[in-house]
């Protein structure tokens, strides 16, 4: 087996436990329940990273809503944004006149969120907001509002609970920081 294939071996330290994430979902779910009461929002999961957070968060929202997914990618398989965003798989729904709530695992440079918000606004949505699990504010290089978030996070590369490295490790039930040697093993190869 290749070193790094066992997910229990790749984490340097845990940042957010399963309980921490559950608390975020309960708190944000209660807020969204209030703010979206009677609006029947279109909840848009940003594939692929948001899926774990989305399924737990929406189950804490006592609000009738519809669900759709948008796959835009900028990181490819790497861990630095390419800066070039493209739609990999578009929404199925028409967003015109809808209150749209984008769910993200993390907002980092902000490029992905800005791209998605601009696209959805351009298509005539009534409102477009975002709820992200993590907000890596220090890395922001475009001006975009993260309307709701679970926690701020520092400038370190995190994995788990949807967040990937090379499209791996999303299934860790918590969020942690990768061991430097795992990154070294793949970078510049």
Ligand X SMILES: O=P(O)(O)OC[C@H]1O[C@H](OP(=O)(O)OP(=O)(O)O)[C@H](O)[C@@H]1O
> What are the catalytic residues?
108
Where does this chain touch ligand X (CB under 6 A) — which range of 4-12, 14-22, 30-38, 105-113? 105-113
Using CB under 5 A as the binding rule, whether residue 162 contacts Mg ion is answered as: no
Distance CA 158, CA 178 (A): 7
Can you give the binding site for ligand HPA, defined by CB under 6 A? 75, 106, 108, 157-159, 163-164
For the chain, give the number of residues.
189
Using CB under 6 A as the binding rule, whether residue 70 contacts ligand X is answered as: no
Look up residue 160 and give its DSSP letter: B
Q: CA 10, 12, 13, 16 torsion: positive or negative?
A: negative
Using CB under 6 A as the binding rule, whether residue 99 contacts ligand X is answered as: no
Which residue minimizes CB distance to ligand X? 49
Distance CA 100, CA 150 (A): 19
Query: Nearest approach, Cβ of 51 to ligand X (angstroms)?
Result: 9
Judged on CB neighbours under 10 Å (0-12, 13-18, 19+), 111 is buried
**Could you tell which of ligand HPA, Mg ion, ligand X, none binds residue 183, using a CB distance below 5 to 8 A set by kind?**
none
**Could you tell which of ligand HPA, Mg ion, ligand X, none binds residue 158, using a CB distance below 5 to 8 A set by kind?**
ligand HPA
The alpha carbon of 102 is separated from its chain's Cα centroid by a whole number of angstroms, namely 9
Q: Is 165 helix (H, G, I), strand (E, B) or coil?
A: strand
Show Cβ contacts of residue 145 under 8 Å, excluding neighbours closer than 6 positions.
129, 130
Query: Nearest approach, Cβ of 26 to ligand HPA (angstroms)?
Result: 23
**Could you tell which of ligand HPA, Mg ion, ligand X, none binds residue 55, using a CB distance below 5 to 8 A set by kind?**
none
The nearer residue to ligand HPA, 6 or 155, going by C-beta atoms, is 155
The pattern of x and - marking residues 48 through 77 that bind Mg ion according to CB under 5 A reads -x----------------------------
The nearer residue to Mg ion, 46 or 182, going by C-beta atoms, is 46
Beta strands, E only, the chain: 11-16, 42-47, 66-73, 86-89, 99-107, 127-135, 148-152, 158-159, 175-178
Residues of the shown chain interacting with ligand X in the complex, contacts defined by CB under 6 A: 46-49, 73-75, 81, 104-113, 164
């Amino acid at each position: 087996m290749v070193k790094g294939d066992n997910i229990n071996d790749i984490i340097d330290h845990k940042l957010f436990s399963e309980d921490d994430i559950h608390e975020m979902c309960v708190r944000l779910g209660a807020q969204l329940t209030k703010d979206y009461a009677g609006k029947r929002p279109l909840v848009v999961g940003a594939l692929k990273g948001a899926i774990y957070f989305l399924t737990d968060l929406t189950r804490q929202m006592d609000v009738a809503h519809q669900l759709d997914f948008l796959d835009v990618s900028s990181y490819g398989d790497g861990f630095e944004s390419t800066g070039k965003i493209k739609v990999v798989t578009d929404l199925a729904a028409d967003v015109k006149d809808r209150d749209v709530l984008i769910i993200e695992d993390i907002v980092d440079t902000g490029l992905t969120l800005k791209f998605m918000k601009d696209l959805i606004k351009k298509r005539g949505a009534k409102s477009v907001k975002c709820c992200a699990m993590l907000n890596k504010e220090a890395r922001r290089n475009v001006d975009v509002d993260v309307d709701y978030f679970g926690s701020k996070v520092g400038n370190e590369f995190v994995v788990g609970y949807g967040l990937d490295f090379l499209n791996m490790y999303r299934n860790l039930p918590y969020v942690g920081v990768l061991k430097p040697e795992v990154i070294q093993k793949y970078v510049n190869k």
